[in-house]
């Protein structure tokens, strides 16, 4: 009897170790703002494109390679950090005509579902802009990992999407300024 118990102890220990390590597969990351960019472009009079970016971006994400549905992404952008390279235009964009940064200081995204697809994930979530929240879906490409500097684990993703600003209540100068805004997001996370 004791011999049987002694034989079962290593097997039980192995099962416990495998079960524990399988349940700890998710990796948590903090978005590295120095290696993250949220940029956009919008048409002006149908003649040219105005390009801009947001300079203050933060967020976090969790990657569960064994069960991608348990992965999640959040990103927060300070609206006041808009930068189109023209101070007068940026002040106007911060005003109630557009972003109304005093009333709506943040743009945010929080995933509601994640599924694995070729080269990354398909992510659906709630995007809030100008006090309006809409569900959006996009392909998030990437997921390669690197160590830099030594001992710091990183991974990154990119996406390109388009939204209609009128869907979020930003309708000023709709004839002169395009309704469709093209957005590119590239972010890198540092493993916690």
Q: For position 25, what pLDDT does the model report?
A: 78
Q: What is the pLDDT of residues 1-44, one digit of tens each?
A: 556 555 555 554 444 444 444 456 799 999 999 999 999 999 99
Q: For position 175, what pLDDT does the model report?
A: 86
Q: For position 24, what pLDDT does the model report?
A: 60
What is the pLDDT of the chain when averaged over all its residues? 91
Q: What is the pLDDT of residues 117-167, one digit of tens each?
A: 999 999 999 999 999 999 999 999 999 999 999 999 999 999 999 999 999
Q: Is the pLDDT of residue 80 over 80?
A: yes
Q: Please name each of the domains of the chain with its CATH number.
A: 25-191 (2.40.128.110)
10 compared with 96, residue with greater pLDDT: 96
Q: What is the pLDDT of residues 153-187, one digit of tens each?
A: 999 999 999 999 999 999 999 889 999 999 999 99
SS3 string, the chain, reads CHHHHHHHHHHHHHHHHHHHHHCCCCEEEEECHHHCEEEEEEEECCCEEEEEEECCEEEEEEECCCCHHHCEEEEEEEHHHEECCCHHHHHHHHCCCCCCCCCCCEEEEEEEEEEEECCEEEEEEEEEECCEEEEEEEEEEEEEEEECCCCCEEEEEEEEEEEEHHHHCCCCCCCCECCEEEEEEEEEEEEC
């Amino acid at each position: 009897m004791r011999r049987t118990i002694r034989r079962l102890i290593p097997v039980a220990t192995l099962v416990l170790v495998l079960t524990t390590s399988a349940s700890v597969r998710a990796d948590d990351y903090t978005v590295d703002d120095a290696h993250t960019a949220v940029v956009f472009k919008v048409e002006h009079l149908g003649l040219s494109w105005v390009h801009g970016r947001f300079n203050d971006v933060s967020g976090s994400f969790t990657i569960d390679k064994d069960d991608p549905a348990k992965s999640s992404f959040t990103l927060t952008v300070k609206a006041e950090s808009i930068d189109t390279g023209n101070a007068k235009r940026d002040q106007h964009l911060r005003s109630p005509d557009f972003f109304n940064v005093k009333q709506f200081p943040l743009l945010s995204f929080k995933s509601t579902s994640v599924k694995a697809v070729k080269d990354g994930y398909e992510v659906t979530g709630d995007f809030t802009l100008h006090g309006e929240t809409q569900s959006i879906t996009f392909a998030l490409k990437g997921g390669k990992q690197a160590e830099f500097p030594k001992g710091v684990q990183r991974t990154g993703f990119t996406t390109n999407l388009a939204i209609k600003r009128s869907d979020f209540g930003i309708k000023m100068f709709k004839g002169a300024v395009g309704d469709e805004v093209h957005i590119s997001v590239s972010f890198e996370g540092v493993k916690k």
